[in-house]
A = this chain, B = another copy of it.
Amino acid sequence: LIGVAAALGLAAHARTVLASSPDLLDQEVDAAANLIGQARPTAVNLPAAMTRMRTVWNETAGLPSADRVGALERSALALAREDEEACAAIGKNGADFLDVILAARTGPIGLLTHCNAGALATAGIGTALGVVRAMAARHEIAIFADETRPFWQGARLTAWELIEDGFPVTVIPDVAAASLLARGDIAAVIVGADRIAANGDTANKVGTYPLALACRRHAIPFLVAAPVTTLDPATPSGKEIPIEFREGSEVLLIETPGSVPIEIAPRGTKAIYPAFDVTPHDLIRAIVTERGVALPPFGPALARFSGAAWST
């Protein structure tokens, strides 16, 4: 969604500039693409979407301005539609894969996810939640959602989205996931991704990595679900993925829209956190994309899937 929103935002800005100061179009599209593309460092879909939009802009250089802006809009909308289609295919591919590896399992299938990789984070039914939804259509499942500190994407977004769509969900503190895995309550863990390096190392919301470590300990399959636009063949491994560190106040000040903020630590306490972490590829059982399921060693399949991922 970050790429789709960025592309739509750039197109909307171009439309505004076309109406108000058409002479500045080239300059404004360039400045806005720069600004938006650098807004956050970790998710590859953001700069990649800007690259795609720039390509459209450059390739239409000889045409009338209105046509060029129209081309930007069509490209952004196409990106949204492709993401929607990708989610549906990811859901099917992931469920097909889980059906194979969980075939021997009886009773309700416990599935745990972290953060929100659902309809609120994509243009479609979600990536990780796309797989969860596809599984729900085939089996009796029990959905668990990590609360996802410090922004509660699991409690605020994933729980909301699933309840709205009629799926019962149980929220757990992030710290409790390892216990539930140890108890055998969870058959598989499925998360989304912000960037997947060429070797399969995956950057995702902080807390994903310790979850993958707990899965490894208990031999629970840990799956990453993402569209091929999240693959970054130019980044060899997780070591090269830039990780955004964010303000301590986001940790220590609890607030929701309309609430009186609650301080959870004495005034003046220092805090820090990385918004994302990197899960090394050796902890990942499979990377589910709309073009297929990549298995270890991930490199060759990811290279194949990512071919022309960002073509216009």
Interface members, chain A 247-271 (any B CB < 8 Å): 248, 251-252, 254-256, 259-260, 262-266, 268-271
Chain A interface mostly helix, strand, loop or mixed? mixed
**Residue A39 CB within 8 A of the other chain:** no
Interface-side segment among A24-32, A64-72, A156-164, A190-198? A156-164
Binds B, one of A103-111, A145-153, A225-233: A145-153
How far, in Å, is A280 (CB) from chain B's closest CB?
9
Contact A217 B206 (CB under 8 A): no
Tell me the nearest residue of chain B to A275, going by C-beta.
Answer: B176
A303 within 8 A of B: no
Name the interface size band of chain A. Answer: 35 or more
The interface centre, meaning the residue of A148, A251, A269, A272 with most chain B CB atoms within 10 A of its CB, is A269
B207 contacts A266, C-beta separation under 8 Å:
no
When chains A and B are docked, how far (Å) is the Cα of A264 from the Cα of B270? 23
Which residue among A147, A174, A175, A271 has the maximum number of chain B CB atoms within 10 Å of its CB? Answer: A175
Report whether B270 and A262 are in contact in the complex, using a CB–CB cutoff of 8 Å. no
A12–B70 Cα distance when bound, in Å, is: 81
Copies, count: 2
The interface residues of chain B lying within 8 Å CB-to-CB of A277 are 175-176, 178-179, 182
List chain B residues, Cβ under 8 A from A172. Answer: 251, 271-273
Q: Is A155 part of the contact surface with B, judged by Cβ < 8 Å?
A: yes
A8 proximal to B (CB < 8 A): no
Q: Could you tell me if A269 and B159 are in contact, using CB atoms closer than 8 angstroms?
A: yes
Q: How far is the CB of A198 from chain B (nearest CB, A)?
A: 19
A170 at the interface (CB under 8 A from B): yes
Tell me whether A173 is interfacial, beta carbon within 8 Å.
yes
Contact partners of A168 in chain B: CB under 8 A = 270
Name the segment of A93-101, A208-216, A285-293 touching the other chain.
A208-216
Identify the 3 closest CB pairs spanning chains A and B, nearest first.
Answer: A175-B207, A155-B265, A178-B210
A positions within 8 Å CB-CB of B: 147-150, 152, 155-156, 159-160, 163, 168-179, 182, 206-207, 209-211, 213-214, 217, 243, 248, 251-252, 254-256, 259-260, 262-266, 268-274, 277-278
Q: Could you list 12 further interchain pairs (A-B, Cβ under 8 angstroms) beyond the known A172-B271, A173-B273? A: A152-B264, A159-B266, A160-B266, A174-B175, A175-B206, A178-B213, A178-B277, A182-B278, A209-B214, A256-B262, A259-B262, A260-B260
